[in-house]
Amino acid sequence: MLRRHRRTRGAVQRRLAGLPLLLAVVTGVAGCSAGPFNSAPPTIEPAQPAASPPASQNPAGAVRPLGGRATAAIFDGGSRQLAVLTPGADPAAPATLTEFGDPRTPPRVIDLPGPASALTGDGRGTAYLATRGGYLVVDLSAAHATQVPVANAAQTDFTAIAQRADGTLVLGTDDGAVYTFASRSPETVKTATIAGRNKIFARVDALAAQGNTTVVLDRGQTSVTTIGADGHVEQALRAGEGATTLAADPLGRVLVADTRGGQLLVYGVDPLILRQAYPVRQSPYGLAGSRGLAWVSQTASNVVIGYDLSTGIPVERVRYPTVQQPNSLAFDEASGTLYVVSGSGAGVQVIEHAAGAP
């Protein structure tokens, strides 16, 4: 088994060595309307989370039921609710957004008007979701969803979404483009107008905003790339051996899970630089940032770990057994509550005062 693992990793490393990097400053395509490469960027097989075994320990905290295979979660401070995205039974089926608030009341399910592939929020009561042809705006208090089309993009599959500090929405696509929009009030427009478009990726799998800088994750190229406030591509770096997820934290960092390489990667964004890399075994995948700890789930062992990044080398402070398939994490900074959302229908785990005693 060990010999086979070494052969597999060696093959991945050889394929990585064959990938030309966007690396450092991407001057050749640094424009608001950067055109596509003449040919598709070379890629490797994208990494995936482990298929988790059944939970062998009782999950820490409380578990609230949630069916379906949830794919994303955010905690909204304005409405004091956790919002969880669950796709439909097939890719074209409408998705649902489930709100978890007071534990004494049942969660509220919002039926979305179409499929959705990614989720973000403004922290003040509004959630945004990527969908085919545009994005969805959800008023979490009113449980109301509205679809906003993107001009001249009716057939575009949007796969990632983030909101910058200035309110601007940024969307990514399955064919490797990043769209930046003109409005800083994206919930008010009837049709979204494109301010900039960069098509230099194989696929945009995830986006995160740190201030007005957008960080792009491309799993096939296992790379992270920054796009500045002006919409120009800035820098790019290789991200481990198989990066899968990323998350911004409140202290200006961007966390990346290198699932295939078994690492937590910690980046600064101005400029883009790898500040810390630390081994996290058992297929790290779910991420959440907080002021105190960086949270990482291990999908091969149903565990979540909180790391202190303040010393320059991540230090494990706490770990908890989780629900099966802990793919999505969210954190409530005000109460210190960590939410662990199962990707296999095992529910939503609620761990109060997760960093330690209040």
**Per-residue model confidence (pLDDT) at position 129:** 99
**Per-residue model confidence (pLDDT) at position 91:** 87
pLDDT in tens, the chain (358 residues): 434 444 445 555 555 555 555 444 443 343 444 445 556 788 999 999 999 999 999 999 999 999 899 999 999 999 999 999 999 989 899 999 999 999 999 999 999 999 999 999 999 999 999 999 999 999 999 999 999 999 999 999 999 999 999 999 999 999 999 999 999 999 999 999 999 999 999 999 999 999 999 999 999 999 999 999 999 999 999 999 999 999 999 999 999 999 999 999 999 999 999 999 999 999 999 999 999 999 999 999 999 999 999 998 999 999 999 999 999 999 999 999 999 999 999 999 999 999 986 6
Topology annotation, domain 71-238: Methylamine Dehydrogenase; Chain H (2.130.10)
Q: For 278-290, what is the HEC assignment?
A: EECCCCEEEEEEC
Task: With beta carbons less than 8 A apart as the criterion, state whether 234 and 34 touch.
Answer: no
Instruction: Determine if residue 24 is left, alpha or beta; phi over 0 gives left, psi from -120 to 50 gives alpha, anything else beta.
Output: left
- Cα–Cα distance measured from residue 50 to residue 298, given in angstroms and rounded to the nearest whole number: 8
**Angle at CA 321, nearest 5°, toward 317 and 322?**
115
**Per-residue model confidence (pLDDT) at position 139:** 98
**Per-residue model confidence (pLDDT) at position 157:** 98
**Per-residue model confidence (pLDDT) at position 13:** 57
**Per-residue model confidence (pLDDT) at position 16:** 59
User: What are the distances in angstroms from CA 103 to CA 65, 73, 100, 324, 355?
Assistant: 11, 17, 7, 21, 21
Note the pTM of the prediction, 2 decimals: 0.92
